[in-house]
Amino acid sequence: MKARHKRWGLIVAGLAALGLGVALVLSAFQKNLVFFFTPSQVAAGEAPQNRSFRIGGLVELGSIERQADGITVSFLVTDNAQRLRVNYRGSLPDLFKEGKGVVAQGKLTADQLFVADEVLAKHDENYMPPEAAYALKQAGAPALAGAVK
């Protein structure tokens, strides 16, 4: 084999290895990518059915229901235009309250029930999760004190 052929073989092998590496990185990135949707977008059918995503908004007043087992909680997330029922099994953050901003990550079932595997709440009195503030802004809700702009 001539030196020229060896050089071209190394270049082709290097490009193939680089392409495989890029494909693996993009595949891992795609699996970990989590999109955010508002309750209005979920109601409009824009959210995926079999994939994890985040929703955000306010916990509707009077909507928190605790099951008899003590660890399963159901509540409504609203953007003041639409609302979505969320079921969550686990301990909620200490600052989780009705009327406050929340972001939940999970999957949507066929009957439009959002089953969350993670619930995030605000961390102080003047903070609103950016995703929740965005959801309220998109729904035309009045400006909230302390919302991230």
- Binding-site residue positions for heme: 123, 127
Q: Which residues define the annotated binding site?
A: 123, 127
Token pair belonging to 116: 């969350």
Rounded Cα distance between 23 and 140, Å, is: 41
Dihedral sign from CA coordinates of 121, 86, 51, 138:
negative
107 phi-psi bin (left φ>0, alpha ψ -120 to 50, beta other): beta
Rounded Cα distance between 38 and 149, Å, is: 17
Rounded Cα distance between 116 and 104, Å, is: 6
CA nearest neighbour of 141 among 4, 9, 40, 37: 40
What's the DSSP call for residue 68? T
